[in-house]
Amino acid sequence: MEYALITGASKGIGKAMAECLAKRKFNLLLVARSEALLSETAAELQRRYQVAVSWLAADLSTPEAPRLVADWVAKNNFPIVVLINNAGYGLWGKFGELSYADQNNMLQLNVQTLVNLTYLMLPNLKQRAKAYILNVGSLAGFQAIPTLSLYAASKALVNTFTRGLARELKNTPVSVTLLAPGGVKTGFLARSGMYHMQQTDDKLSMKPEVVAEIGIRAMLNGKREAVPGFLNRFTALMVKLFPKSVVENITESMYKKK
């Protein structure tokens, strides 16, 4: 009985990915902070898709979290064939004005937890005939974004780390995929305080179920990168072609804190 491990699995893209995999008859390991939401999600997926679902309530923004998850997997002898590093969030505002503690918390979750959990799960994954890693980066990680400077930087690390790791593991059973979405209707704006962009978000952001399906398909097909949505793919291309100063002027005007 093999499992897919998903972080940030109680809502948003993570929950949608869990359903995508359950439909494909993957057994699931769900990790997130909310015990109530995890229990509800696990029961729902078990009932609807007749798959095994176990869950662990843990604050993934703590330094101890990756080892806690790894020990839980080892203690229960869960054979992992899929690792999805989805948990993450953003902070909006000028770097020097945002909370020191909050920014370090974001970095811990977006970067250190993802990197360390990948490291700890890799031996388990390598034991399978075929295994997959899917890291959720961001379109924001392709360029600098004033007032989202640290968030964009954290996702830039995820983007480049994932592509580098994919190359390192190309001759192993483990396939590595980057999912780099743009706006997704997940409550990101509310958590980061970017209420002024709500109308734009309502018009342009994609549904988490659509993004999740694109990511899961790309992962299972062995693709190294997936940018969901034509507009987002076009944006990613323009970022590569335009001078950095032009791109940064555009992003600064879009995300400027009034």
Catalytic residue, chosen from 3, 89, 132, 151, is 151
Catalytic residue, chosen from 3, 89, 132, 155, is 155
Domain count within the chain: 1
Q: What is the mean pLDDT of residues 84-113?
A: 97
Range of the domain at 209: 3-255
pTM of structure? 0.91
The reply to whether 132 belongs to the active site is no
Asked if residue 34 has pLDDT above 60, the reply is yes
The reply to whether 155 belongs to the active site is yes
Q: What is the mean pLDDT of residues 159-171?
A: 98
Percent of the chain with pLDDT over 90: 80
- The answer to whether 3 and 80 are in contact (CB under 8 A) is yes
In the numeric block, which tokens belong to residue 141? 């990680």
pLDDT at res. 202:
58
Least confident of 135-139, 165-169, 235-239: 235-239
pLDDT at res. 75:
97
Least confident of 32-36, 66-70, 158-162, 189-193: 189-193
pLDDT at res. 241:
82
Query: What's the Rg (C-alpha) of the chain?
Result: 18
pLDDT at res. 235:
87
User: What would the pLDDT profile of 210-239 be if each residue is shown by its tens digit?
Assistant: 999 999 999 999 999 999 999 989 888 888
User: What would the pLDDT profile of 179-215 be if each residue is shown by its tens digit?
Assistant: 999 989 876 655 556 555 555 555 668 999 999 999 9
Higher local confidence (pLDDT), 60 or 245: 60
pLDDT at res. 255:
74
Backbone φ and ψ of 84, nearest 5°: -115, 110
- The answer to whether 60 and 84 are in contact (CB under 8 A) is no
Q: Name the residue among 48, 122, 128, 38 with its Cα closest to residue 87.
A: 38
Q: At 100, which CATH number?
A: 3.40.50.720
Sequential DSSP letters for 58-87: --TTSTTHHHHHHHHHHHTTPPEEEEEE--
Write down how long the chain is: 258
pLDDT at res. 21:
98
